C-alpha cells in the first residue's frame, strides 16, 4: 500500500468537510422537521431524526386556496416576467454598447456606471417609486431596483465584445438589419452570457422581499419570501395560513415546510446556478 | 459652435438609430431610478410634505440637529461599524483560510462536492436563513435540545443580545465565506507555476511555499475585496438585519443598524426628511471611507487599490 495519505492531508480534509457540513446540515434540519409531525416537534424538539413522520404540513400548503399557494403563484409570475423583461433590457443595451459603430458607447457606459457609485439611497428611491405609482401593485415588485443592473450589463457587453468583429461586418455587408443581427445572429451566440445573466436576475426576483417590504401594504400581493417573513414576524399571518385547516393545524412543521417549498426551485436549478454563477462571479470580481 | 455640436449628436443618433433605440429602456430606467432621484436628497433640509414633494418648507439643518442630538443615532452608527467590522475581519480570514485549504486538496471530486455545499447558502435569502436559525435556536430548537442532553439549562437566544454578535458573524461566514473563497482560489490558481517550481528547487516545503508565495501574491485581491467592504462599512445589509432581527426590541441595542433605522423612520414613523438626513450623513461618511481606505491600500499594495 502506498503511503499517500499524510497527517496534514487528513487535517485539511477534516476541516474542509466540517465547514461544508456546517453549511448544509442546518438546511437538512429544516427538511427533516418539515416532515415531522407536530406532536413529535412539540415533545422532542427539533431534531435530525423525527420520531414521527407526517405530511400534514405539505397538505396544508397545497390545500386549494391556501395563502402560501397564492404567494407561490405571485412569486413565479414576478420571477418569470421580471427575468424576461430584465434580460431584454440588458441584452439590447449591451448589444448597442458593444457595437463599435455606436460613437457614444463609452460615454453611455460611464452614464450607467456612475449610478453604481453615487446613489442617493433608500428615501429618494422610495419617493420616486411613489411618484411613479409603483406602490401597492404587482409592478412595484417587478420594476424598481431589480429590472436592470449595470453589473449584468457590463458582463453581457464584455461577452459580446469577445465575439469577432467580422461577424457584424459580414452581416451588415449582406444587408441584415440591426434587429436581425441582434436577435438572429448575436443572440444565439451569447447563450452562455444570457444563461448567466438570466440566472442572476431570476435568483434576485425569487429571493426578493425588499421591494415587498418597501412598497406593499396589501397582503394579497405578497410574494413567497414576504409571506414567509410575515409568518415569522406577525402571528396574524400564521393564523391566516393555518385557518383553512380545521383540526389541530400544524404550525412548527408548517413553517419548515414553507421554507422548503421556497428553496425547492433553487435546489432543482442548483447545478446550473453553480456552473454559471461561479463563472460570472469570477469574471465580475476580476474584471469588474 | 454649439449648434454644430448638437447637429453632430443628432446625426450620430440618426445614423445608428436602431442601436440608440435599443439603449433607450436602460437609459430611461437609469434616469428615473438613478439621476432623477438625486434632487430628492434636498428634502434632508426640508420638512417633507407628501402633497408638496420637493418644494416642501425649508428648515435648514433642523433635521440634522434632531438626529445628532438623539442618542439612538450613535447606537445604530456604532452597531453598524462594529458588526460590519467583525464581518469584514472574520469573513476575510475564514475565506482566505478556506482558499488556502482548497488549494492543497488533491482530490478534485472531493473539492467540487465541498464547494457545492459551501456555495449553497449564498443562494438562499436571509428570510430562509432566519427559518433555519429558528430551527436551531428556538426554545424547542436543536441547540437547546443538545444543551439539555448535556444537562444544561435551555437558553432563550432571542432575548440574549450579546450572543447575537457571535450568531450574526457565524451566519455571515456561512453565507459568504464559500463564495469569497472561490474568488480567492481563482486568484491563487492564476499564480505563475514557475514560482513554485523555483521554490521547490530551493528546498521549500508546502508550508513555506504558502507563506512566501501564495499569501503575498493573494494580497492584492484580498485588498480590493476588503476595500470594497470597508468603503461600505456604514451601509449595513438591510435584508440580513431586518430578516433576522425583525422588530425584536430585546435585540435592537446590539443589532439595530443605520439602514433599519432609516427604514423605520421612513415606513413606520413616516418622517422621510429625518430618514433622508440620516441617509445623507451615511453617504457622506461612506464617501470619505472609500477615499481613505483606498489611499491607504495604494501605499501598501499598488495593485490592490480600486482607483
Average of pLDDT values for A129-135?
92
Cβ–Cβ gap A179/B18 under 8 Å: yes
pLDDT in tens, B192-220: 889 999 999 998 888 889 889 999 999 88
CB contact under 8 A, A270 and B116: yes
How many angstroms separate the CA of residue A65 from the nearest CA in chain B?
23
Q: What is the ipTM of this complex?
A: 0.89
Q: How many domains does chain A have?
A: 1
Q: Give the number of other Cβ atoms within 10 Å of residue A136's Cβ.
A: 14
Q: A36 pairs with which residues across the strands?
A: A53
Phi first, then psi: give them for residue A53, nearest 5 degrees: -95, 140
In a domain, A268, yes or no: yes
Contact between B238 and B263 (Cβ < 8 Å): yes
When CB atoms are compared, the residue of A96, A214, A263 closest to B128 is A263
A contact test, residue of B15, B49, B131 with most A CBs within 10 A: B131
Q: What is the DSSP letter of B49?
A: B
Q: Is residue A126 part of a domain?
A: yes
d(CA B117, CA B123): 11
Q: Are the beta carbons of B101 and A15 separated by less than 8 Å?
A: yes
What is the number of other CB atoms lying within 10 angstroms of the CB of residue B284? 11
Q: How far is B174 from chain A (nearest CA, A)?
A: 6
Q: Which residue of A33, A124, A179, A277 to mutate against B (max B Cβ within 10 Å)?
A: A124
Residue A244 has what pLDDT? 66
Nine-digit cell at A54?
A: 407526517
Mutate one of A122, A131, A135 to test the B interface: name it (highest B CB count within 10 A): A122
CB-neighbour burial class of residue A127 (10 A; exposed 0-12, middle 13-18, buried 19+): buried
Q: Is residue A24 assigned to a domain?
A: no
B66-77 residue pLDDT tens: 888 888 888 999
Q: How far is A273 from chain B (nearest CA, A)?
A: 9
**Residues of chain A found within 8 Å of residue B103, distances taken between Cβ atoms:** none
Residue A21: list chain B partners with CB under 8 A.
117
> A205: domain range?
55-287
- The alpha-carbon gap from B84 to the nearest alpha carbon of chain A, in Å, equals 18
Element (H, E) at A172: helix A165-173
Give me B159's grid cell.
432575548
Please name the fold of domain B76-304.
MetI-like fold (1.10.3720)
- The answer to whether the beta carbons of residues A199 and A277 sit under 8 Å apart is yes
- The pLDDT tens digits for A88-103 are 999 999 999 998 888 8
Distance from CA of B228 to the nearest CA of A (A): 11
In a domain, A214, yes or no: yes
| Separation in Å, CA B154 to CA A51, A104, B142, B148, B307 | 21, 65, 11, 6, 51
* A174 in any annotated domain: yes
Query: A-B interface: how many C-beta pairs under 8 angstroms?
Result: 250
pLDDT, residue A287, reads 46
Residue A273 lies in a domain: yes
Residue B100 exposure: Cα atoms within 13 Å on the Cβ side: 22
Instruction: Return all residues near A217 (Cβ < 8 A) that are at least 6 apart.
Output: A136
Helix (H, G, I), strand (E, B) or coil at B115: helix
Q: Which residues of A touch B104 (CB under 8 A)?
A: 8-9, 12
DSSP assignment letter at A182 = I
Give the mean model confidence (pLDDT) for residues B169-180.
93
Per-residue pLDDT tens for A228-256? 999 888 777 777 777 766 566 778 888 89
Q: State residue A1's pLDDT score.
A: 39
Q: Does the structure show a pLDDT above 70 at B9?
A: yes
Please report residues of A whose CB lies closer than 8 A to that of B130.
229, 232
The pLDDT assigned to A283 comes to 63
Shortest Cα distance from A242 to chain B (angstroms)? 17
Measured CA to CA, the distance from residue A124 to residue A118 in angstroms comes to 13
Cβ contacts of B102 on chain A, cutoff 8 Å: 16
A125 to B117: CB separation less than 8 angstroms, yes or no: no
- Determine the Cα–Cα distance for residues B10 and B32; give it in Å rounded to an integer: 23
Residue partners of B279: CB distance under 8 A and separation at least 6: A120, A121, A122, A123, B44, B262
* Residue range B269-287, pLDDT digits in tens: 888 899 999 999 888 888 8
Residue A223, classed as helix, strand or coil, is: coil
Tally the residues of chain A: 288
Ranges of each domain in chain B: 1-33, 76-304
d(CA A62, CA A68): 8
Is there a domain that residue A21 lies in?
no
Q: Quick one: DSSP state of residue B57?
A: P
User: How much is the pLDDT for B6?
Assistant: 85
Give the CATH number, domain containing residue A108.
Answer: 1.10.3720.10
Return the percentage of chain A with pLDDT > 90, whole number: 41
Amino acid at each position: 500500500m502506498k503511503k499517500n495519505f499524510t497527517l496534514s492531508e487528513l487535517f485539511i480534509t477534516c476541516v474542509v468537510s466540517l465547514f461544508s457540513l456546517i453549511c448544509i446540515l442546518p438546511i437538512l434540519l429544516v427538511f427533516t422537521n418539515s416532515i415531522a409531525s407536530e406532536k413529535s416537534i412539540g415533545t422532542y424538539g427539533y431534531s435530525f431524526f423525527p420520531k414521527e413522520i407526517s405530511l400534514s404540513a405539505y397538505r396544508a400548503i397545497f390545500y386549494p386556496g391556501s395563502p402560501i399557494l397564492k404567494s407561490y403563484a405571485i412569486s413565479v409570475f414576478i420571477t418569470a416576467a421580471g427575468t424576461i423583461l430584465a434580460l431584454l433590457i440588458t441584452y439590447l443595451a449591451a448589444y448597442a454598447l458593444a457595437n463599435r459603430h455606436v460613437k457614444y458607447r463609452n460615454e453611455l457606459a460611464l452614464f450607467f456606471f456612475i449610478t453604481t457609485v453615487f446613489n442617493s439611497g433608500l428615501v429618494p428611491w422610495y419617493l420616486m417609486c411613489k411618484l411613479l405609482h409603483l406602490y401597492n401593485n404587482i409592478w412595484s415588485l417587478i420594476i424598481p431596483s431589480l429590472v436592470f443592473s449595470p453589473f449584468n450589463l457590463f458582463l453581457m457587453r464584455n461577452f459580446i465584445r469577445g465575439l469577432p468583429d467580422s461577424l457584424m461586418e459580414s452581416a451588415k455587408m449582406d444587408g441584415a438589419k440591426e434587429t436581425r443581427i441582434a436577435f438572429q445572429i448575436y443572440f444565439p451566440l451569447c447563450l452562455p452570457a444570457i444563461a448567466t445573466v438570466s440566472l442572476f436576475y431570476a435568483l434576485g426576483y425569487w429571493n426578493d422581499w425588499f421591494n415587498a417590504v418597501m412598497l406593499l401594504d396589501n397582503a394579497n400581493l405578497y410574494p413567497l419570501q414576504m409571506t414567509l417573513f410575515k409568518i415569522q414576524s406577525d402571528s396574524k399571518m400564521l393564523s391566516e395560513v393555518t385557518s383553512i385547516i380545521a383540526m389541530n393545524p400544524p404550525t412548527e412543521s408548517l413553517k419548515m415546510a414553507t421554507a422548503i417549498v421556497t428553496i425547492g426551485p433553487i435546489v432543482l436549478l442548483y447545478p446550473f446556478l453553480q456552473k454559471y454563477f461561479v463563472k460570472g462571479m469570477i469574471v465580475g470580481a476580476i474584471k469588474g | 459652435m454649439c449648434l454644430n455640436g448638437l447637429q453632430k449628436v443628432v446625426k450620430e443618433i440618426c445614423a445608428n438609430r436602431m442601436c440608440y433605440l435599443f439603449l433607450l429602456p436602460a437609459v430611461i430606467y437609469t434616469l428615473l431610478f438613478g439621476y432623477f432621484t438625486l434632487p430628492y436628497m434636498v428634502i434632508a433640509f426640508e420638512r417633507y410634505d407628501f402633497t408638496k414633494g420637493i418644494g416642501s418648507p425649508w428648515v435648514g439643518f433642523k433635521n440634522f440637529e434632531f438626529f445628532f442630538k438623539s442618542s439612538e443615532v450613535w447606537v445604530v452608527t456604532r452597531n453598524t461599524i462594529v458588526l460590519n467590522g467583525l464581518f469584514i475581519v472574520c469573513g476575510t480570514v475564514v475565506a482566505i483560510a478556506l482558499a488556502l485549504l482548497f488549494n492543497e486538496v488533491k482530490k478534485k471530486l472531493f473539492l467540487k462536492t465541498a464547494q457545492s455545499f459551501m456555495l449553497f447558502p449564498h443562494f438562499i435569502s436571509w428570510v430562509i436563513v432566519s427559518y433555519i436559525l429558528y430551527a436551531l435556536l428556538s426554545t424547542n430548537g436543536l441547540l437547546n435540545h443538545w444543551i439539555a442532553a448535556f444537562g444544561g439549562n435551555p437558553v432563550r437566544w432571542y432575548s440574549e443580545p450579546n450572543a447575537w454578535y457571535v450568531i450574526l458573524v457565524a451566519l455571515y461566514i456561512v453565507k459568504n465565506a464559500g463564495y469569497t473563497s472561490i474568488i480567492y482560489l481563482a486568484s491563487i490558481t492564476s499564480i505563475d507555476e514557475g514560482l513554485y517550481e523555483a521554490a521547490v528547487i530551493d528546498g521549500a516545503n508546502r508550508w513555506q511555499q504558502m507563506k512566501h508565495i501564495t499569501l503575498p501574491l493573494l494580497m492584492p485581491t484580498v485588498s480590493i475585496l476588503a476595500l470594497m467592504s470597508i468603503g461600505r462599512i456604514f451601509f449595513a445589509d438591510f435584508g440580513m438585519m431586518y430578516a433576522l432581527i425583525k422588530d425584536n426590541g430585546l435585540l435592537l441595542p446590539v443589532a439595530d443598524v443605520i439602514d433599519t433605522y432609516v427604514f423605520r423612520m421612513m415606513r413606520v414613523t413616516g418622517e422621510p426628511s429625518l430618514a433622508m438626513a440620516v441617509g445623507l450623513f451615511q453617504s457622506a461618511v461612506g464617501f470619505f471611507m472609500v477615499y481613505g481606505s483606498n489611499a491607504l491600500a495604494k501605499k501598501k499594495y499598488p495593485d490592490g487599490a480600486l482607483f
